[in-house]
Amino acid sequence: MSGGWNTIESDAGVFTFLLNNLGVQNVQFEELLTLEPEALAELYPIYGVIFLFKYPTDTPYTSTDKPLDGSFDRDAAERLWFAAQTIQNACGTQALLSVLMNRDSSEVDIGGQLQDFKEFTLALPPEFRGEALSNSELIRDVHNSFARSSPFVDETQRQGGETEDAFHFVAYTPIDGTLYELDGLQPAPISHGACTTEDFPTKVIEVLQRRIARYDMSEIRFNLMAMVRDRRVTAREIGDVEMLAREERKRRDWQFENALRRHNFVGFAGAVLKGVVDMKLKQGDGAYEKWIEDAKAKTRQRLESRKKGGGEDVEMEG
């Protein structure tokens, strides 16, 4: 059962404002387009990363004995904030919380409500932490506020046993000198060995490269985002006026995009189309028919171009 949790996009703007709306101060996400440690190191200070990947359906994903990489640290679940995932569609929010809840208060101000939630759930075993998360109205409502509006519901049944690709988020963060992978579908935190804050960019990229190497060469649907300190704070500290302006512009763009996600434009699009049709009909002299034929020709041209270019883009959600 999803428990009323909707799917949200893997997007730096979504995750940044999700944190803001939860009361977290001076933290943002940055999407990484390369697996170069230098690109991650440039974002210092880095609190952790969250990684989106295609969930494997042809091989077992979880194991009680040994993970595919690293080793289970079962004792760590008692001293870290690690929660079992008990609901669908919330793995992105759970991954960012896995990084956030394991940062010291001297590093990140998570706000009063999340601090209360953290203190309450730390006394619980991982499976009950997951249940507490699923039942948190605050976190669920903020999470769902970033779900994309969808006016259509597809009630058709898939035939022939066809299944839709599923995607999953996991978190990586350095805690007390160890690089941990925090995945709510695994029975315990996974240790990837000793790791300082300075070593984190290099160490985590090595782990991610090994993980990606387990997929076919044709699989490119991955997404990596870093949780870092608000870049505007860094810009002010170093007196970089251009960087500050760039980051402020980015925030405005994110706000605009997030606002668009909350609305559907079916009614608006219908009204515009009706208006255009009425205008073409009033023009006469075959203007409407010519408009239709021109649109058909452009559509055929796009389809041919798409075939030559290797297909459509694929949007990933977690």
Task: Give catalytic status of residue 168 as yes or no.
Answer: yes
Rounded CA-CA distance 50/241 in Å is 29
* Phi, psi angle pair for 59, to nearest 5°: -135, 155
Rounded CA-CA distance 212/207 in Å is 9
Report the amino acid identity of residue 13.
G
- Torsion angle (degrees, nearest 10) of CA 185, 186, 188, 190: -120
Catalytic residue among 143, 168, 192, 195: 168
Decide: helix, strand or coil at residue 225.
Answer: strand
Task: Give catalytic status of residue 192 as yes or no.
Answer: no
Please, what's the b/e burial string for 61-94 (b: 16 or more CB within 10 A of its CB; e: otherwise)?
Answer: eeeeeebeebebbeebbeebbbbbbbbebbbbbb
- Are 22 and 139 a contacting pair, CB within 8 Å? yes
Catalytic residue among 91, 143, 192, 195: 91
Active site residues: 91, 168
